[in-house]
Amino acid sequence: MSIAMMPLRRLAERLLPGNVASSRTAVPGSPHAGGSLTTVPLQWRTHWLAWQFLSWISGTLLAPPFWMVGILLMINAHSDQPFFWSLTMAIVPITNAIAIIHANQRHHRRPFTARWQVGLHYFGGKHADRLHTVHADGGWYTGALQGLVEPLVVTMGASGPAASVLWSGTVIAAFGVLSFAHASILHARLAFEA
């Protein structure tokens, strides 16, 4: 809840006794003195399954790695590593689904009180990190990651294994951030209401 909304909510609670804001329950453990402002948990939107599905679809389709690889495969599907690039597209919806389920389970056990908490929990999920690690290992094993990184190393004038590892880490981190930063914000906005 923003700072500007706090006085408005308090004023609404005082003026309208049957207000929705005053009828919702406070988070367990929050201080609740008579007339004081309490922290109200987020709630799932009504028709929650449709909103969860919309969050998953929009987070997947708006991910730049998903549509960039998809466009490149539509232009020319003949690749030296077709399985890896298809897996690169598939990893985005799989990890988005895992992160949505993980955020929903966390909200069920301990309700979120702000959308930024949902976004941070979604983006910082350990399940998605493990899946990205497996994907990065697959990229090294198939040689697709080296084929992607070597032109970057040569272009920047660096040499040696340290430069290759640095650029590989940069490519993997960029893939993760570009795939899930927007999805965490979308999920917090679409799936929950304050």
For the chain, the 3-state helix, strand and coil shares in percent, each to the nearest 5, are 70, 0, 25
Rg (CA), the chain: 22
Q: What is the pLDDT of residues 89-126, one digit of tens each?
A: 888 899 889 888 888 888 889 998 888 888 888 887 76
Nearest to 193 by CA among 118, 140, 138, 91: 118
pTM, whole model, 2 decimals? 0.70
Angle at 171 between CA 60 and CA 142, to 5 degrees: 90
In which band, very low, low, confident or very high, does the pLDDT at 84 lie, cut at 50, 70 and 90? confident
In which band, very low, low, confident or very high, does the pLDDT at 58 lie, cut at 50, 70 and 90? very high
Output b/e per residue, 111-132; b: 16+ Cβ within 10 A. Answer: bbbbbebbbebbbebeebeebb
Name the token pair of 7.
């006085």
- Asked whether residue 14 carries a pLDDT value surpassing 70, the answer given is no
Work out the average pLDDT over 132-137. Answer: 78
Report the distance separating Cα 85 and Cα 81, nearest Å: 7
- pLDDT for 21 equals 44
Look over the chain and give the mean of its residue pLDDT values, rounded to a whole number.
79
**Contacting residues for 134 by C-beta, under 8 A, at least 6 apart:** none
